[in-house]
A and B are shown apart, each in its own frame.
Chain A
């Protein structure tokens, strides 16, 4: 049994018939071929699959695509501004060496952007606390903290 699904992804209206058990992350990756959203754990622990759903950063491996019916989704591919202008958080990650292997990075960037929206001038402790839902195994997080500080200054 398939169900019809419609949502706006990165500003583009999408409609598909999908299995009700299809995870949102697999809809994005396999159906829409937006492979910037990654899967790192299957248990909602690592945050590599974080996307924006109606403005909120959510873990797309923990919900069905059909639950996002009628929603607006933004993935890392849609994060840069007009003309490819990098989002301040993307810029911060590049400037401050906030990534090594890059696998956690899209989710980390999306979580960090939400953090700055909620707390425009976060302290180091607030940044570290705010990123607790996202795991990085390469950087030791210090450069990620600096990347978020850079972005907060720019925002």
Chain B
């Protein structure tokens, strides 16, 4: 069938409710008698809690209850971490602090009151008696021998050490013509979903059912973990994710507040709500990145890469969240970039610090790797006085070398790195850019060109490589009236699966997209699923939809053949349903088509209509009706027309691309202005180009934020300096260039849709591109590397 919807920029079906202000995020859901929760949080990075006096607060107007660590922490299971690494030290992470606080924002007590203002007022009435301890802030100092130690029982601040990689790295570096070393920092970032976290919990004591509305990326995984934490049967716990206002990995987690709210609702038998303030979000929602590393890259005189070693200190924070220790391992996996590097070694030292946990933030370990590799390639080019494009090209695997095995142990599915590079060079007119740069420099202007050729790991992933299953589920059902219902386990938070999955279904079933509804984010309605993260929703979840449809069509085909009284091989599925094939139909018309034996119309008035067929043709809608009425089905066929499928991918996918940035630096102010930004991305087959562009643009801007503006700053006392959006600079519209986007399309055989994933590409490819451009601009001043964010002040000092 011709594809009417897949590949088209279809307007999103999600949008009408959102542009009218009629969507429902957690805080928009109102239940009668709801109580409101506010938290007392630690004002110190590291302190002993000697006493928590709640006596005044408990008597304050509107206050219903106050819970401290002494009340709750022994009764609720620890906040889970799903990463299993050898010899990993796991701190006991309770929902409320008991004897010690470990970071600014660490929750100490929960106040429950009749309204949010009263709860907030009472927070100020709780007296916490702290004994300050020396904070552990700097990751490298924390890793050194000697205290202070955050978790005394461990005897140091080292959470784990891990070495990975293949090839003889010592020999590779010893045999290289050049070995270049560089310290590289990936600073801490805050994900800043525009909707902070929020939880509404309602326990019904009669039904013994707990419903938790949470702004999360993983409703089913959250339900399992909360059931374990709270100690209630999983099948009595329902998690609903209404509209979710962005996640970027920060809501791919299980948080103390989610369990605590459920537990409080069970104790009080009332609905309870907590909506995170932005200040709490900066303090107590996970951060990303936070790596300080030492790069060694060996190369030959002709630019051939010999080996790469990266010794990295990962700033994990004081406690683990769901995936905290695993993020640096993803960095290790992607250190080959899109290059042939015979020997690679990563040595990770995971370090506890008195800060909130780091975890998955858009890209999750891969932007860190790509930044290291793409900076490394520029350092090699500079060392050898080669063009940055040539040194990259020199080390690309050719398209016929795929699946390409890296020294980090991966098999890249497919790639044409030269193809994307070539397109980006043409779009930007790279040769001319270099000429213009030379002219500009001669005029005293400071102009730089940055190139990044990236590859990323997506479609997470095969279950063997994932902590809690890497598959995704779909149910596709055709209702008796012919409407199509899809239920996906990949609950979105802005990605647009309600539209893109409907596009897939509409094409495969030959129905209008308006007749397809995509349901997600309710564990009592939707079959178990994994969630939306790791650029997996379409590649894994979309594939589950696609395969479920194929299985559903097989059944529909049998029913249609039965209704047409024809052999299944003579019935074809097309845009208007199932038809007798021409040859058979021609013969049939000659010998008079027998009237099909239709179901007998015994239904009373007002009941469903009967399926209709003219003997040559039956619509999908009539097949669905016949399947539900079940009066005339093939022998032994089960009624209904619904298929649930769990898709297990056999590999990750590896999207790639080339980004080119041109910047000019203002000599007087050190300010960086973009002249061009060209991005050629290859995410395999594209379902909806407009949505893919949106993902790329949004991703590039988060990368640009890291390169130029964003940095979570803790001072020497572990105080969070960037505690609000007045201090933490996320990019605004006027700070950004107009992006020139294009695509190449190299399909993958990892899934039948041929899609690779796109959610994190921009964030992975763009950061080094921008830094490379600025460093290139400053090369005449002897600059070979700069740490992010590249502040005008730093640049101005370098120039003057």
**Binding partners A and B:** yes
* Residues of A participating in the B interface, judged by any CB pair closer than 8 Å: 19, 21-22, 26, 29, 33-43, 45-46, 48, 75-77, 79-80, 86, 90, 93-95, 97, 99-106, 109, 124-125, 127-129, 131-132, 134-145
Q: Does B21 contact A (CB under 8 A)?
A: yes
Check B12 against A137 for contact (C-beta < 8 Å).
Answer: no
Q: Does B431 contact A (CB under 8 A)?
A: no
In angstroms, Cα B496 to Cα A13, docked, is 37
In angstroms, Cα B695 to Cα A154, docked, is 26
What B residues does A95 contact at CB under 8 A?
11
Check A36 against B22 for contact (C-beta < 8 Å).
Answer: yes
Check B278 against A40 for contact (C-beta < 8 Å).
Answer: yes
Check B28 against A43 for contact (C-beta < 8 Å).
Answer: no
What B residues does A37 contact at CB under 8 A?
21
Check B697 against A101 for contact (C-beta < 8 Å).
Answer: no
- Chain B 720-740 near chain A by CB (<8 Å), digits 1 or 0: 000011100011111010110
Stretch in contact with the other chain, from B133-141, B146-154, B161-169, B190-198? B190-198
What A residues does B697 contact at CB under 8 A?
139-143
In angstroms, Cα B14 to Cα A93, docked, is 12
Known: A48-B194, A101-B243, A138-B246. 10 other contacts (CB 8 A): A21-B117, A26-B116, A38-B245, A43-B724, A76-B20, A90-B19, A101-B494, A102-B18, A138-B694, A145-B738
Check A43 against B725 for contact (C-beta < 8 Å).
Answer: yes
Check B21 against A42 for contact (C-beta < 8 Å).
Answer: no
Check A138 against B698 for contact (C-beta < 8 Å).
Answer: yes
In angstroms, Cα B673 to Cα A128, docked, is 14
In angstroms, Cα B700 to Cα A139, docked, is 10
Given A45-B725, A97-B691, A140-B700, check contact A103 B19 (CB 8 Å).
no
From A131, A140, A144, residue with most partner B Cβ within 10 Å: A140
| Residues of A contacting B: mostly | loop
Check B739 against A94 for contact (C-beta < 8 Å).
Answer: no
Which residues of chain B (14-52) have a CB below 8 Å from chain A? 14-16, 18-25, 27-28, 30
In angstroms, Cα B277 to Cα A104, docked, is 16
Query: How far does the Cβ of B192 sit from chain A's closest Cβ, in whole Å?
Result: 6
Q: Which chain A residue lies CB-closest to B192?
A: A137
Q: List 17 A-B contacts (CB under 8 A).
A: A35-B25, A42-B279, A42-B724, A43-B724, A43-B726, A79-B20, A97-B11, A97-B12, A99-B19, A104-B194, A105-B19, A109-B19, A124-B738, A128-B732, A129-B734, A139-B698, A142-B739
What B residues does A45 contact at CB under 8 A?
724-726
Query: How far does the Cβ of B143 sit from chain A's closest Cβ, in whole Å?
Result: 32
What B residues does A131 contact at CB under 8 A?
732-734
Q: Does B240 contact A (CB under 8 A)?
A: no
- In the A-B complex, list the 3 residue pairs whose CB atoms are closest, starting with the nearest: A36-B21, A103-B245, A101-B494
Given A40-B278, A102-B23, A132-B734, check contact A19 B725 (CB 8 Å).
no
* CB contacts between A and B, total, < 8 Å: 178
Q: Which chain B residue lies CB-closest to A133?
A: B732
In angstroms, Cα B777 to Cα A115, docked, is 36
In angstroms, Cα B19 to Cα A95, docked, is 11
Check B733 against A90 for contact (C-beta < 8 Å).
Answer: no
Check B245 against A101 for contact (C-beta < 8 Å).
Answer: yes
From B192, B726, B733, residue with most partner A Cβ within 10 Å: B733
Check B702 against A137 for contact (C-beta < 8 Å).
Answer: yes
Q: Does B259 contact A (CB under 8 A)?
A: no
Check A102 against B24 for contact (C-beta < 8 Å).
Answer: no
In angstroms, Cα B243 to Cα A143, docked, is 21
Check B278 against A128 for contact (C-beta < 8 Å).
Answer: no
What B residues does A76 contact at CB under 8 A?
19-21
Query: How far does the Cβ of B697 sit from chain A's closest Cβ, in whole Å?
Result: 3
Query: How far does the Cβ of A70 sit from chain B's closest Cβ, in whole Å?
Result: 24
Partner of B278, one of A41, A86, A94: A41
Q: Which chain A residue lies CB-closest to B701?
A: A140
Check B19 against A94 for contact (C-beta < 8 Å).
Answer: yes
Q: Which chain A residue lies CB-closest to B30?
A: A33
Q: Which chain B residue lies CB-closest to A142?
A: B697
Check A93 against B21 for contact (C-beta < 8 Å).
Answer: no
Q: Which chain B residue lies CB-closest to A144?
A: B733
Partner of B21, one of A26, A77, A145: A77
Check A42 against B278 for contact (C-beta < 8 Å).
Answer: yes
Q: Does B493 contact A (CB under 8 A)?
A: yes
Given A41-B724, A101-B246, A135-B725, check contact A143 B195 (CB 8 Å).
no
Check A100 against B19 for contact (C-beta < 8 Å).
Answer: no
Q: Does B255 contact A (CB under 8 A)?
A: no
- Chain B 76-105 near chain A by CB (<8 Å), digits 1 or 0: 000000000000000000000000000000
Partner of B248, one of A39, A103, A129, A137: A137
Q: Which chain B residue lies CB-closest to A48?
A: B194
Given A43-B726, A95-B11, check contact A145 B733 (CB 8 Å).
yes
Q: Does B693 contact A (CB under 8 A)?
A: yes
Check A35 against B21 for contact (C-beta < 8 Å).
Answer: yes
Q: Which chain B residue lies CB-closest to A110?
A: B21
